[in-house]
Chains A and B, each alone.
Chain A
Amino acid sequence: MEIFEKWEQERRKFILKMTIFSIVFFLSLPISIGLFPEFMSQPRFGWLSFAWLLGFAQIGVTWLLCWFYWLKAEQLDELLIEVKRQLEAAE
């Protein structure tokens, strides 16, 4: 079914982008602290070092990505209604 394939492709592309971004972004915290502890823990803004900033950013970015997923899923759901309609018509 064409429209379902479109749905699947779009979803897959979206998830793939999110996954790649997430792996890079979220693993950057433990990796960077492990590899460059000096650089990461230097206080930059008052007591805030890059390690803390990145830590807090992870909370914000998690929320943001969840929100993106929500928006995308709403959009995909519209396509899905069409898929279901066609399936019923086919029966």
Chain B
Amino acid sequence: MNFTYFIFFVCIVVCTLIITYWAARKSKTTIQFYTAAGSLTGVQNGMAIAGDYISAASFLGIIGQIALYGFDGFLYSVGFLVSYLVVLLFVAEPVHHLGKFSLADVIVARFPNQHIRWIIALGSLIISVFYMIPQLVASGLLIRLLLDIDYTTSVLIIGSLMTIYVVFGGMIATSWVQIVKTVLLLSSTFLLSLIVFSFYSWNMTDLIAEVKLGTPLGEQFFLPGHLLQSPLEMFSLYLALLLGTAGLPHILIRFFTVKNGKEVRKSVLTASGIIGFFYLMTFVLALGAAAVIGYDTLVASDSTGNLAAPLLARALGGDFLLAFVSAVAFTTVVAVVAGLVISATTAFSHDIYHHIIKKGNTTEKEQLKAAQWSAFGIGIISTLFALGLKDINVTFLVSLTFIVAASSIFPVLLFTIYWRRFSQAGAIIGMLAGLFSSMILLLIGPHIMNVENGWILRDPVISLFNPGIVTIPIGFLSAIIGSYLFPDDGEFDFDAFSMKAQTGVDVRRESR
């Protein structure tokens, strides 16, 4: 590792550790640990959401995908952005009004019952951990390529950093690491886009002409259909992306960190502004990568195209810019995994330990201790998994996360908030059906069953890489059928609940 890299790398580690130290002094109570005591402003939270959401897979992966496959890569970024509209319209404010620390709190506000809490907590835990492991594996491979340190060391560094942030600084440290990451990411991609434009003397036509020369797709580069062959596959992917975000626990718990509905809206507006702007820039960078570097060199250095942005940085700005972009990629990774650690921690220590095992009988101090130990445990276990799964292709876990979120948590959350006749049994059945159908369909799909390099060397039973088109309706339908077959006894005051969900005004105060 040369000296420039080392300086950038140390700067980031030191800067985030200072944040953690400062946050640790403010995380003395559970409410501060889990939600930063609602102290963030909407804009800060929006930046943190963007930092939570834009993973290394988006930053490096999407640039690579567009550079290699043109239009189809772009479809991903659009889907990711549009999903925030679903979040804003249907779930953001109700989640803030109903919940306290965790996603399960929101559902339990309607069905006060341990079974429900179990299932939602388990779902949140599964989603967060399954999302974290591929991020860690990918980042280990990536940091190895960028900084030239071996896989084990890079996973250990990232794993211990994320654990330190969460254990000592809780939500406050996590949020500020994410905010710093967003600022770094936006400024570096903006800078790089400007350099791309100036490289072609601000002439779009030249850039486009170069892109067509640089890729074997030629004129075809700008046509759809290179990555996703069938229309069904494309529709299915798009649907899972659109609805998935509204079911991701680590994004939803961020709405507890602001103080009222207006700040929640401001958060989503800020986040969608940043994310949209970011994806527009990734598009420019991808064109730049295809034009400046060319398909053959991109594929030769990394067949997935993940190195498109770093290679572009080196071609345009030499080693220094490459060092900067690598440092940004590193920050991107730690910010995302820290967000996932805190979300898994909340599900485990608040829901499973505090509410289910201890039945709510723990003191404030014990809860905080439990939360810190859970964060520690989750950090270590995920890091160990990531170390063990080095040589196994785990990227499909990312699609699994979005599909599970869209077909289990999203339907249950939506019906809980808006549907009067939704019942407890419906929630349980919907959640489980969505969860299991997504897992089973992925298991018998081409990700795992694959004649060439699958875990099971056979022809896949179903040919969809993205089974969202099947599992999302399964999740919704089983929740509906469950509710009609096993309705609740009807003592529940849905009007008061609905009012609380939508406005935050609690009219049930006296009756309790």
Binding site for B on A (CB under 8 A): 4, 7-8, 11, 15, 18-19, 22, 26-27, 29-31, 33-35, 37, 40-41, 43, 46-49, 51-52, 55, 58-59, 62-63, 65-67, 69-70, 73, 77, 80, 83-84, 87, 91
Contact = CB atoms under 8 A, between A and B. Distances in A.
Interface of B: 71, 74-75, 78, 81-82, 84-85, 88-90, 205, 208, 222-225, 231-232, 234-235, 238, 242, 261-262, 265, 268-269, 272-273, 276, 279-280, 498-499, 502-503, 505, 507, 510
B88 A84 contact: no
Task: From A8, A66, A83, name the one whose CB has the most chain B CB atoms within 10 angstroms.
Answer: A66
Nearest to B272: A66
A43 B89 CA distance: 34
A88 B89 CA distance: 28
Contacts, number: 106
Nearest to B225: A37
Contact of A62 (B74, B232, B276): B276
Given A19-B89, A46-B205, A87-B507, A4 B235 contact: no
A70 to B, nearest CB: 6
Contacts of A48: 222
A62 B280 CA distance: 13
12 contacts: A34-B232, A37-B224, A41-B224, A49-B222, A55-B75, A62-B81, A62-B84, A63-B272, A66-B84, A69-B88, A83-B505, A91-B510
B276 A29 contact: no
B238 A66 contact: no
A34 B231 contact: yes
Task: From B223, B232, B234, B238, name the one whose CB has the most chain A CB atoms within 10 angstroms.
Answer: B223
A39 B226 CA distance: 16
Given A26-B242, A34-B235, A62 B503 contact: no
Contacts of A52: 71, 74, 222
B85 A62 contact: yes
A4 to B, nearest CB: 7
Contacts of A91: 510
A55 B225 contact: no
Contacts of B81: 58-59, 62
B231 A33 contact: yes
A34 B234 contact: yes
A8 B262 contact: no
A11 B242 CA distance: 22
Contacts of B232: 34
